Protein backbone atom coordinates (compact mmCIF):
# COMPACT_ATOMS: atom_id res chain seq x y z
CA UNK A 1 0.00 0.00 0.00
CA UNK A 2 1.09 3.56 -0.74
CA UNK A 3 1.08 4.63 2.94
CA UNK A 4 2.85 1.65 4.51
CA UNK A 5 5.91 3.81 5.08
CA UNK A 6 3.97 5.87 7.64
CA UNK A 7 3.31 2.87 9.88
CA UNK A 8 6.92 1.75 9.34
CA UNK A 9 8.14 5.20 10.40
CA UNK A 10 6.01 5.00 13.54
CA UNK A 11 7.45 1.57 14.25
CA UNK A 12 11.01 2.91 14.13
CA UNK A 13 9.98 5.89 16.27
CA UNK A 14 8.61 3.66 19.02
CA UNK A 15 11.77 1.52 18.97
CA UNK A 16 13.87 4.68 19.29
CA UNK A 17 11.83 5.93 22.25
CA UNK A 18 11.90 2.64 24.18
CA UNK A 19 15.60 2.01 23.50
CA UNK A 20 16.54 5.56 24.55
CA UNK A 21 14.52 5.33 27.74
CA UNK A 22 16.13 1.99 28.58
CA UNK A 23 19.56 3.66 28.61
CA UNK A 24 18.69 5.77 31.66
CA UNK A 25 19.02 4.60 35.24
CA UNK A 26 16.25 5.17 37.78
CA UNK A 27 18.32 7.74 39.66
CA UNK A 28 18.66 9.81 36.47
CA UNK A 29 14.91 10.47 36.15
CA UNK A 30 15.10 13.97 37.73
CA UNK A 31 18.17 15.03 35.71
CA UNK A 32 17.97 17.94 33.27
CA UNK A 33 20.25 18.61 30.29
CA UNK A 34 21.91 21.46 32.21
CA UNK A 35 21.90 21.32 35.99
CA UNK A 36 20.01 24.23 37.51
CA UNK A 37 18.38 25.29 34.22
CA UNK A 38 14.62 24.62 34.47
CA UNK A 39 14.05 25.24 30.74
CA UNK A 40 15.18 21.77 29.69
CA UNK A 41 12.92 18.88 30.61
CA UNK A 42 14.09 16.29 33.07
CA UNK A 43 14.13 12.68 31.92
CA UNK A 44 10.88 12.13 33.85
CA UNK A 45 9.25 15.23 32.34
CA UNK A 46 10.22 14.12 28.85
CA UNK A 47 8.68 10.70 29.41
CA UNK A 48 5.47 12.35 30.63
CA UNK A 49 5.46 14.69 27.64
CA UNK A 50 6.02 11.86 25.13
CA UNK A 51 3.26 9.68 26.59
CA UNK A 52 0.68 12.46 27.01
CA UNK A 53 1.31 14.28 23.73
CA UNK A 54 1.33 11.08 21.67
CA UNK A 55 -1.88 9.92 23.34
CA UNK A 56 -3.55 13.26 22.55
CA UNK A 57 -2.26 13.33 18.98
CA UNK A 58 -3.48 9.84 18.25
CA UNK A 59 -6.85 10.16 19.99
CA UNK A 60 -7.82 13.66 18.88
CA UNK A 61 -6.25 13.99 15.46
CA UNK A 62 -6.20 10.41 14.20
CA UNK A 63 -9.07 9.00 16.31
CA UNK A 64 -6.92 6.12 17.51
CA UNK A 65 -7.72 5.34 21.13
CA UNK A 66 -6.04 2.42 22.90
CA UNK A 67 -8.34 2.84 25.92
CA UNK A 68 -5.51 3.12 28.40
CA UNK A 69 -4.28 5.94 30.61
CA UNK A 70 -1.27 7.60 28.98
CA UNK A 71 0.79 7.61 32.17
CA UNK A 72 1.85 4.57 34.18
CA UNK A 73 1.29 4.00 37.87
CA UNK A 74 3.79 4.36 39.41
CA UNK A 75 5.75 6.79 37.21
CA UNK A 76 9.02 4.86 37.26
CA UNK A 77 11.39 4.38 34.33
CA UNK A 78 10.45 0.74 33.87
CA UNK A 79 6.72 1.44 34.08
CA UNK A 80 7.03 4.26 31.53
CA UNK A 81 8.80 1.83 29.19
CA UNK A 82 6.12 -0.81 29.70
CA UNK A 83 3.21 1.61 29.26
CA UNK A 84 4.67 3.27 26.16
CA UNK A 85 5.67 -0.05 24.57
CA UNK A 86 2.19 -1.51 25.14
CA UNK A 87 0.25 1.55 23.96
CA UNK A 88 2.45 2.31 20.96
CA UNK A 89 2.32 -1.37 19.96
CA UNK A 90 -1.49 -1.20 19.91
CA UNK A 91 -1.35 2.02 17.90
CA UNK A 92 1.04 0.45 15.43
CA UNK A 93 -1.29 -2.52 14.92
CA UNK A 94 -4.18 -0.13 14.28
CA UNK A 95 -2.13 1.98 11.85
CA UNK A 96 -1.05 -1.13 9.94
CA UNK A 97 -4.70 -2.05 9.44
CA UNK A 98 -5.70 1.26 7.88
CA UNK A 99 -6.34 1.38 4.14
CA UNK A 100 -5.50 4.14 1.67
CA UNK A 101 -8.96 5.69 1.95
CA UNK A 102 -8.46 6.16 5.71
CA UNK A 103 -5.03 7.78 5.26
CA UNK A 104 -6.45 10.10 2.60
CA UNK A 105 -9.49 10.92 4.72
CA UNK A 106 -9.76 14.34 6.27
CA UNK A 107 -9.32 15.25 9.90
CA UNK A 108 -8.44 18.46 11.72
CA UNK A 109 -4.91 19.30 12.75
CA UNK A 110 -4.96 22.34 15.01
CA UNK A 111 -8.21 23.56 13.41
CA UNK A 112 -6.93 23.11 9.85
CA UNK A 113 -8.49 20.37 7.70
CA UNK A 114 -5.82 17.97 6.41
CA UNK A 115 -5.52 14.35 5.34
CA UNK A 116 -4.41 11.90 8.01
CA UNK A 117 -1.36 11.15 5.87
CA UNK A 118 -0.37 14.83 6.03
CA UNK A 119 -0.41 14.69 9.82
CA UNK A 120 1.68 11.54 10.03
CA UNK A 121 4.24 12.95 7.58
CA UNK A 122 4.49 16.09 9.71
CA UNK A 123 4.98 14.10 12.90
CA UNK A 124 7.40 11.68 11.24
CA UNK A 125 9.47 14.54 9.84
CA UNK A 126 9.80 16.15 13.24
CA UNK A 127 10.68 12.89 14.94
CA UNK A 128 13.48 12.36 12.45
CA UNK A 129 15.09 15.69 13.30
CA UNK A 130 13.64 17.83 10.51
CA UNK A 131 13.01 21.42 11.59
CA UNK A 132 9.35 22.09 12.38
CA UNK A 133 9.19 24.86 9.79
CA UNK A 134 9.97 22.53 6.90
CA UNK A 135 7.13 20.07 7.50
What is the CA angle 28-75-26, rounded to 5? Answer: 25
Whether pLDDT at 19 is above 80: yes
Count the domains in the chain.
1
Q: What is the pLDDT of residue 123?
A: 44
CATH number for the domain that contains residue 16: 1.20.120
| pLDDT tens digits for range 20-75 | 999 999 999 999 988 888 889 999 999 999 999 999 989 988 899 999 999 999 99
Q: What residue numbers bound the domain in which 64 lies?
A: 4-32+39-134
Please provide the average confidence, as pLDDT, over all residues in the chain: 85
For 23, the 3-state DSSP assignment is coil
Q: What is the pLDDT of residue 124?
A: 45
| pLDDT tens digits for range 91-102 | 999 999 999 998
Q: What is the pLDDT of residue 131?
A: 41
Q: What is the pLDDT of residue 120?
A: 54
Residues 122 and 112 sit within 8 Å (Cβ to Cβ): no
Amino acid sequence: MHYDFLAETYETERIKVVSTWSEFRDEEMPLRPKTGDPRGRSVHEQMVHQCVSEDLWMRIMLRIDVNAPPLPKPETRLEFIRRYAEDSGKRLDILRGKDEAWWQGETKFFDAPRSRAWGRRTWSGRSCGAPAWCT
